[in-house]
Amino acid sequence: MSENNAVLSVLLHKRHRIYETRHSYFREGTSTLFIAKEMFLTKGTGKHREQLTSFEMALRDAGIAAFNLVRVSSIFPPHCKLISKSKGLKKLQQGQIVFTVMSEAATDEANRLVAAAVGVAMPRDPTLYGYLSEHHSHGQTERVAGDYSEDLAAEMLATTLGVAFDPDQDWDAKRELWRISGRIVRTTNMTQSAVGNKDGLWTTVVAAAVLITD
């Protein structure tokens, strides 16, 4: 057998073994499903002359700077429990890859109002999924931004549950309708706002829902 054929034979053998390993891995159902069992909400703000560093400061303020954060889209998993930030952080390790639904906003304009919010809507039936919504804004107060994000999450959940509502109604009217329907058990939000630094430093705000999969 020529040298080239020998090398090719070795490569094909290795590839076949890798395929068999992967095939067995998935066939036996041992693959990992990253479905969060618990989740916590957090927020933070940071200021610095560099925008990236102000973002880092906001993550530190939120208590999640020590993790490798991976942003994901906005589903509250079935059977997931919303726990406190203090309990959630105890379940994570520094350097861990952590999935999060995060909103952020930044400005270097003096006195400009910024806000970042994550809204949460959970169904009464724990076997169903809920929704998380990210919202960031300039010029909105913390309450307005928070209510808006909560409204977004609740609307998305309501449409999947088949709860009728008028999208043009104000938030309080829709919330009362959803409460009466009995299909949505809880809505909430986590919101951080800040006013732009008077000296032109970057001001960053973050709000996050942190998923715990272990």
If the chain, 214 residues long, is cut into consecutive pieces of 10 residues, what is the mean pLDDT of each piece? 48 40 40 86 98 98 98 95 97 97 98 98 93 97 95 89 72 65 81 96 98 91
Which two three-digit tokens encode residue 10? 């070795």
* Pair (26, 106) in one structural domain: no
* Pair (27, 43) in one structural domain: no
Which two three-digit tokens encode residue 2? 């020529």
* Pair (25, 98) in one structural domain: no
Rounded CA separation 193/169 (Å): 25
* Pair (94, 163) in one structural domain: yes
* Pair (18, 45) in one structural domain: no
- The reported pLDDT for the residue numbered 20 is 39
Which two three-digit tokens encode residue 200? 């032109």
* Pair (110, 177) in one structural domain: yes
Rounded CA separation 75/39 (Å): 11
* Pair (137, 158) in one structural domain: yes
* Pair (17, 76) in one structural domain: no
Rounded CA separation 57/48 (Å): 8
Cα three-residue angle 100-192-213, rounded to 5 degrees: 20
- The reported pLDDT for the residue numbered 6 is 52
* Total domains, the chain: 2
| Domain of residue 184, CATH code | 3.50.20.10
Residue 191: name the closest of 149, 154, 138 by CA: 149
Domain that holds residue 175: 38-212
- The reported pLDDT for the residue numbered 154 is 87
Instruction: Report which residue type is found at 170.
Output: D
pTM of the model: 0.80
- The reported pLDDT for the residue numbered 61 is 99
* Pair (66, 16) in one structural domain: no
Residue 93: name the closest of 71, 64, 70 by CA: 64
Strand partners, 38: 81, 212
* Pair (42, 27) in one structural domain: no
